[in-house]
Amino acid sequence: MTLTAQQIWPEEFAQRYRAAGHWRGETFGSYLRERAAAHPERVAIVAGDTRWTYAELDARADALARGLLDAGIKPGERVIVHLPNIPEFLSVVFGLFRAGILPLYALPAHRITEIEHFANSGEAVGYVAAERHDGFDYRALARELKTRVASVKNVFIVGNADEFTSFDALEAQGRASNTEPVPPVPSTVAFLQISGGSTGLSKLIPRTHDDYIYTLRESARICGLDGDSVFMGALPIAHNYPMSSPGVLGALYAGSRVVLSPSPSPEAAFPLIERERVTDVSLVPPLLLVWMQAAPGTKADLSSLKVVQVGGAKLMPEVARRVRPTLGVTLQQVFGMAEGLVNYTRLDDPEELIIQTQGRPISEDDEVLVVDDQGNAVPEGEAGYLLTRGPYTIRGYHNNPSANARSFTEDGFYRTGDIVKRTPEGYVVVQGRATDHINRAGEKISAEEIEDHLLAHPQVFDAAVVSIPDEYLGERSCAFIIAQGERPKGAVLKQWIRSRGLAEFKVPDQVVFVDSFSATAALKVSRKELRAALRAQLTAQD
Ligand code: J2J
């Protein structure tokens, strides 16, 4: 298995990133230990009535590291972490990091089909979930997972575990244990994140301690986090963005307090902002709209908020312009990707840059190219494909040579799939994208993946899934269907997607039946052109 930075970055680059002080040989386990030593009594995590100090989080992570090793999981092996925004998310990932075991992050919305794919492609040996969340019983998923994927031996459940090991038992066992975890090497892979999955199934993204901690350190600095900051994790923190840009991990790196909201809705988040005097939060554009609608009428005192970050999908300038007047905060645009490159507008940037652009890269060593179809640089200010490499952008997906051949150039640039322009100041303006996925409120959906599932339905002859502009979601998904025999109801096909064990956000928002894919979209053209023609057809009708 290819799990070291040496195999991810060529040695000359690794040396350069170390010499520049980007990679400092820290690990997740070591930075938590240092913070806990520096300010043991400071509150690290708040969720509901739970308040853990840095010392407590540190001790829990130690206990879990021992418990996980005693359960027979070995350093370098992978454990799927399938948890909502609860404190145990953080204690278990730090426990895994300390034991040198790799978390593989799944979103709470993922269901058996996705988890099975992650377990197979990451050869996972364990699965951690909460008993229930949002009405869904994750123990049932765990049972199914164990029957489908033989490598998954250990299941740990927060709450009532039934036949599985309870999280409390795991931690108690670890507290009583003398096992000494061997600290992981900073240049090795610390965890696997999942890709947005533009073509078919999600790919696994290997990130090292060195490279990711560099982004946490710089993100916390760029976002102005320090010991007085209170960062709210409102979006699901398994997402790379609320995890790391600066996210909950960046906030803990900076010694800030992390407040976890069970949901990003104003009803859940606003009272918590008042109670905990939250200063920073990251949102996706549709949520920003909801917050801006709710803020003027709320009884909650939101005056502690200083910075609201918005990223994950394009923020329209006319919305961006209203942020400061409506919420009384500084807007920070964030354009990033789980594969690496993250751009931020800086807090003291001129207002127009904050409103009109998606920021500039974290690092002076982020190499950013904007190229045409032939791979040649376009003149400054013109739109082109964004390619990038740098000290925290991966050089390849985990165990996936065919995706790597498509997604990376020979000299190691990642093809982001985004179409961007650059301003004279080096700021990026996202124009669109070349890949065929749907960015539904920041959740990336692969058209191909959903088409494959629709095609498995006996009454579907052909299917094309496209993104349609949507006032609230930014984009919504529309499935064009040519029926086989009698047309099923749209609702039946939506239910079909659910029954295939997929995340709810992948269920098409709209189903449109057509007799054929029309002359423009005859079989000669690629799926991509077909989707473009159908999208144009529907948008023209609107
Ligand atoms: C337009 N498109 C954007 C933006 C991401 C920080 C922030 C976001 C992510 C993320 C992340 C966008 N405007 N402001 O991991 O650390 C689209 C682009 C990009 C893709 C990556 C982070 N911000 N996008 O969203 O891996 O198309 O990461 O390539 O989920 O989201 O998606 P993802």
Instruction: Check whether 235 has a pLDDT greater than 50.
Output: yes
Q: Which of 136-140, 149-153, 273-277, 526-530 has the lowest mean pLDDT?
A: 526-530
Task: Round to whole Å and give the CA distance between 273 and 292.
Answer: 15
Q: If you average pLDDT over every residue of the chain, what do you get?
A: 95
Query: What percentage of the chain has pLDDT greater than the value 70?
Result: 96
Instruction: Check whether 420 has a pLDDT greater than 70.
Output: yes
**Residue-wise pLDDT tens digits, 327-370:** 999 999 999 999 999 999 999 999 999 999 999 999 999 999 99
Question: Are 528 and 436 in contact, with CB atoms under 8 Å apart?
Answer: yes
User: How confident is the model over 200-224, as a mean pLDDT?
Assistant: 96
Tokens 């947005």, located at residue: 196
Question: Integer distance in angstroms from the first to the last C-alpha of the chain?
Answer: 50
Distance 311 CA to ligand 1 centre (A): 6
Closest CA to 85 of 254, 281, 279, 221: 281
Question: Are 140 and 130 in contact, with CB atoms under 8 Å apart?
Answer: no
DSSP result, 82-131: E--SSHHHHHHHHHHHHHTPEEEE--TT--HHHHHHHHHHTTEEEEEEES
Q: For residue 489, what pLDDT is reported?
A: 96
Rounding to the nearest 10 degrees, give the CA dihedral for residues 428, 432, 436, 440. 90
- Mention every residue, 6+ apart, whose C-beta is less than 8 A from residue 8: 2, 189, 206, 208, 394, 395, 396
Closest CA to 200 of 450, 530, 434: 450
Question: Are 248 and 90 in contact, with CB atoms under 8 Å apart?
Answer: yes
Give, using CA atoms, the residue closest to atom 7 of ligand 1.
336
440-541: CATH number: 3.30.300.30
Task: Round to whole Å and give the CA distance between 205 and 42.
Answer: 33
DSSP result, 178-235: ---PPPPPTTBEEEEEE---SSSS--EEEEEHHHHHHHHHHHHHHTT--TT-EEEE-S
Instruction: Check whether 527 has a pLDDT greater than 80.
Output: no
In which region does residue 253 sit, left (phi positive, over 0), alpha (psi from -120 to 50) or beta (all else)?
alpha
Q: Name the token pair of 461.
A: 């002859």
Pocket of ligand 1 (CB under 6 A): 196, 240-241, 244-245, 311-314, 333-338, 342, 358, 416, 418, 430, 433, 439, 442, 444
Question: Are 359 and 345 in contact, with CB atoms under 8 Å apart?
Answer: yes
**Residue-wise pLDDT tens digits, 51-66:** 999 999 999 999 999 9
The DSSP bridge partners found for residue 340 are 337
Per-residue b or e along 189-218, where b marks 16 or more CB atoms closer than 10 Å to that residue's CB: bbbbbbbbbbbebbbbbbbbbbbbbbbbbb
Distance 518 CA to ligand 1 centre (A): 34
Instruction: Check whether 523 has a pLDDT greater than 70.
Output: no
Q: For residue 533, what pLDDT is reported?
A: 80
Q: For residue 6, what pLDDT is reported?
A: 46
Closest CA to 256 of 48, 22, 54, 34: 54
pTM of the model as a whole: 0.96
Q: What angle do CA 145, 93, 364 make, to 5 degrees?
A: 120
Task: Round to whole Å and give the CA distance between 433 and 69.
Answer: 43
| Residues 36-40: contacts with CB under 8 Å, at least 24 apart | 38/255, 39/227, 39/255
Q: Name the token pair of 161.
A: 């575990």
Distance 312 CA to ligand 1 centre (A): 4
Best of 205, 219, 241, 433 for a ligand 1 pocket test (most atoms within 8 Å of beta carbon): 241
Distance 97 CA to ligand 1 centre (A): 25
Task: Round to whole Å and give the CA distance between 232 and 278.
Answer: 6
Every domain of the chain and the residues it spans: 440-541
Instruction: Check whether 247 has a pLDDT greater than 70.
Output: yes
Q: For residue 538, what pLDDT is reported?
A: 75
Best of 198, 288, 337 for a ligand 1 pocket test (most atoms within 8 Å of beta carbon): 337
Identify the band that residue 2 occupies on the pLDDT scale cut at 50, 70 and 90: very low
User: How confident is the model over 240-246, as a mean pLDDT?
Assistant: 98
Identify the band that residue 154 occupies on the pLDDT scale cut at 50, 70 and 90: very high
Instruction: Check whether 417 has a pLDDT greater than 60.
Output: yes
Q: For residue 532, what pLDDT is reported?
A: 82
- Mention every residue, 6+ apart, whose C-beta is less than 8 A from residue 480: 463, 464, 465, 466, 512, 513, 514, 517, 534
Distance 437 CA to ligand 1 centre (A): 12
CA atoms within 13 A of residue 69's CA, in its CB half-sphere: 24
Distance 223 CA to ligand 1 centre (A): 17
**What ipTM is given for this predicted complex?**
1.00
Helix (H) or strand (E) holding 406: helix 401-407
The DSSP bridge partners found for residue 192 are 104, 206
Instruction: Check whether 536 has a pLDDT greater than 70.
Output: yes
